[in-house]
Amino acid sequence: AQKITQTQPGMFVQEKEAVTLDCTYDTSDPSYGLFWYKQPSSGEMIFLIYQGSYDQQNATEGRYSLNFQKARKSANLVISASQLGDSAMYFCAMREAVYQGGKLIFGQGTELSVKP
């Protein structure tokens, strides 16, 4: 079974608007961490934001925020005020407690295109 599901293969957003990239996950472990990475066309993987399962507040990093809905097992990435440089693939990933410090499981990714 898929542990991380990103249902949007591709998304378009107008420059300066906000966009939400969906991520749902599946785990029976009460302790886990969720990550988002960005992969621009140049190919490198860039860490964006982290949310722990016990964190009381949604994580934020600059224009990135994570809409964490634990009961729904969703961890959507919100990018505010989109910029042309935000055009990239975005990957959601999860680490379960048994793999503390180690193994991440990645979703299939969402390709975001920002229109001028």
Partner 1 sequence: DAGVIQSPRHEVTEMGQEVTLRCKPISGHDYLFWYRQTMMRGLELLIYFNNNVPIDDSGMPEDRFSAKMPNASFSTLKIQPSEPRDSAVYFCASSLLWRGLADTQYFGPGTRLTVL
Query: x-or-dash pattern for partner 1, window 43-62, by CB under 8 A?
Result: xxxxx--x-xx---------
The answer to whether 23 contacts partner 1 (rule: CB under 8 A) is no
- DSSP assignment of 50-105: EEETT-SS--EETTEEEEEETTTTEEEEEE-S--GGG-EEEEEEEEEGGGTTS--E
Return phi, psi of residue 86, to 5°. -80, -10
Of 25 and 35, CB closest to partner 1: 35
Pick from 12, 17, 97, 113 the residue near partner 1 by CB under 8 A.
97
Question: Considering the complex, what minimum distance in angstroms separates the CB of residue 49 from partner 1?
Answer: 10
Q: Which residue in the set 23, 95, 112, 114 belongs to the binding site for partner 1 (CB under 8 A)?
A: 95
| Side chain identity at residue 80, one-letter code | S
